[in-house]
Amino acid sequence: MKKVRIDGHVHLLPQEILSYMKKHKNSLMDRFPVADTQVWDVEQLLAEAHEANIDTFHLLGIQWPDSQMCKDHNDYSKEIMDAYPGLFYASASLNPTDGWIAVWELERCYLMGFSGVGELDPCRGSYSLSHKRFLQVMEAAHIYNMVPTINVSPPFISIPGIDDKTPIDEFYDLAKRFPDSPIILTHLGGALPYYELWPEVKEAFKHVYYDTSSTLCIYEKGAIKKVLEIVSPHKIVFGSGFPLYVGKECTTSLLSVTTSVFDQLSSDVSNHIMGANLQTLLEKK
Amino acid sequence: MIIDIHTHILPEEVSDNPSAFAKKDDYFAFLTTPSPANHTEQRYATYQEAVTQMDTDGLDALAIQGWGMLSHELCVEQNTYTLEAMKAYPTRIIGFGIVHPKGGKKALDEVERCLAAGMAGIGEIDPYGQRFSLDDPTFLRICDMCIEAGALMNIHISETIGHSYFGKSDIPLNEYVALIKKKPDLQIIMAHYGGGLPYWELLPEVRQLCTNVYYDTAGSPLICSSEVYQATIRICGAHKVLFGTDYPLLLFPQVEQQPNFRSIIDEITAHVSSDEDRRALLGESARNLLVKNNLCKEVTT
């Protein structure tokens, strides 16, 4: 496996969806309050990535309320993968509440070469992690070795764009239900890494990974370093959240996000966190 | 200086015959009656026995936390015993009073009696076991009385995930956070690592909110890995983490049959690398909290 630096949490949107979002501002812009001020363009990403010394990307989908939007988004991700061979991994946009349509779309994405599913968003989809339709998607992801990425964020504060009120014990139950499936939890997993200090949680979370997206905007400085004292560096994957650097007093470029994360890492773990961990997960497929 | 901020020393009526006492209090019975499902190894000690063990293990002082009984009368009996212990060992024993909010006016009077008699606060009050809501008006009045008196409150809480065990609270962490928001001046010691709340202090908003929140380590070896001490200190600072054991609960039941303080002190010593942090955790942070509030001068001077 060649050494890579992967941004594990990137969102790019096709023009049709951006136009649709602007047109339906009231219903969709609350999900992405900064959407109209951010650039969602692949050229912009590549320019910023060059500066930040990032060479590979994990395109995450969005759990759109409409299955056609999920499909359009996935087609766009496929276009990008084809246009830049070897530069992009992709996860499928799905809405588990669509039932069989979501599972069918997952299969289509698998055939198109996608490596994962998500970013799934139980809170905005108003489903619990024990909802049958969600579990069907998880089962299918497990069968196809597609890694699910699930949005998690701190429940006590309101962060536009990534709010999540899913009870954290549901993540424990989910991990126990899929003990052999890797699951990536975003935004440093809310508080979940701390609970790995409880042995039974550590055991259940053997294959749970945490991405660093939006970390710098949500948590205090140095948070990643502190989390690394609790969980193995093999469980942390770098992700910027491009272009949604949400939160207060947030950094505004991929370079500054990358640098802030990288500066918290010792040399012996940085390769794992900045790329190798995610590469191993996504290439299992 | 080593201070154990979380022990339960119960009246001799209880320690002499726990199963007889269990008939008086259903939750006590639920927690302490051995059963195939209940693996807790409860032990009992009088305050005289506790002081002997303190001398053996090098403990300077301990706090007796009340056991969350269901009736007002049993709370009062416990408090009377704790006051007796404080009087017998004024430089070694710190008292916390226990009440049940459903006692209403009688509970408020009892809080007044406990604090006037020199107790450091109210605790270990238990919304799960005692079955009251954190927005119960009497409970909130008790919080205010603690604030007005500069007293502390120790409150039971458990981690919201992981396996089940007897005594594990299922009150959501959000409800405790709501209490902290409602009573920001209340100095709360949240038992058992605050059910995971320390981690949330990595969020600047939560850190700000939890300025007056402290966490104790009670029961740690039974529930957490030994890395928890260092990790919690790194996250929220040693000044917020207070040594507590849950004595005379057996913390290492696989290898010990008699309760003591030394085994967990040794575990902490082995896992907290900085001398300064270790001193803070084992006693200085608790002492500073008492001194700051002018509580238990005989113990702290």
CA distance B249 to chain A (A): 19
Using a CB–CB cutoff of 8 Å, tell me whether A195 touches chain B: yes
Using 50 as the pLDDT threshold, list the residues of chain B that sit under it: none
- Per the model's pLDDT, the better-predicted residue between A22 and B134 turns out to be B134
Tell me whether the omega of the peptide bond preceding residue B124 falls within 30 degrees of 0, making it cis: yes
ipTM above 0.85, yes or no: no
**Contact indicator for B245, A240 with CB cutoff of 8 Å:** no
User: Per the CB < 8 Å rule, is B199 touching A193?
Assistant: yes
What is the tens place of the pLDDT at every residue in B163-174?
888 999 999 898
User: Position A256: which residue type?
Assistant: S
User: Per the CB < 8 Å rule, is B206 touching A223?
Assistant: no
Output the CA torsion sign for B150, B152, B153, B158.
Answer: positive
Residue A29: is its pLDDT beyond 70? no
Residue A4: is its pLDDT beyond 80? yes
User: Per the CB < 8 Å rule, is A172 touching B235?
Assistant: no
Pairing state between β A208-211 and A183-185: parallel
- Rg value, chain A, Cα: 17
Residue A127: is its pLDDT beyond 60? yes
What is the tens place of the pLDDT at every residue in B96-130?
999 999 999 999 999 999 999 999 999 999 999 99
User: Taking CB atoms and an 8 Å cutoff, what residues of chain B touch A227?
Assistant: 202
Buried-exposed string A153-176: b where 16+ CB fall within 10 A, e elsewhere = bbbbbebebbbbebbbbebbebbe
User: Per the CB < 8 Å rule, is B227 touching A220?
Assistant: no
User: Position B210: which residue type?
Assistant: C
Across chain A, mean pLDDT equals: 87
The pLDDT value recorded for residue A135 is 95
The pLDDT value recorded for residue A221 is 84
Q: How far is residue A209's CA from residue A183's CA, in Å, rounded to a whole number? A: 6
Q: Which residue of chain A is at minimal alpha-carbon distance from B208?
A: A220
User: Per the CB < 8 Å rule, is B162 touching A200?
Assistant: yes
**A148 bridge partner residues:** A117
Q: How far is residue A103's CA from residue A146's CA, in Å, rounded to a whole number? A: 12
The pLDDT value recorded for residue A26 is 47
A33-62: average pLDDT: 82
What is the tens place of the pLDDT at every residue in A256-285?
888 888 888 888 899 999 999 999 999 875
Q: Which residue of chain B is at minimal alpha-carbon distance from A157?
A: B205
The pLDDT value recorded for residue A40 is 72
Tokens of A230: 């609790």
Residue A34: is its pLDDT beyond 70? no
**pTM of the full predicted structure?**
0.88
User: Taking CB atoms and an 8 Å cutoff, what residues of chain A touch B200?
Assistant: 154, 156, 191
User: Per the CB < 8 Å rule, is B203 touching A220?
Assistant: yes
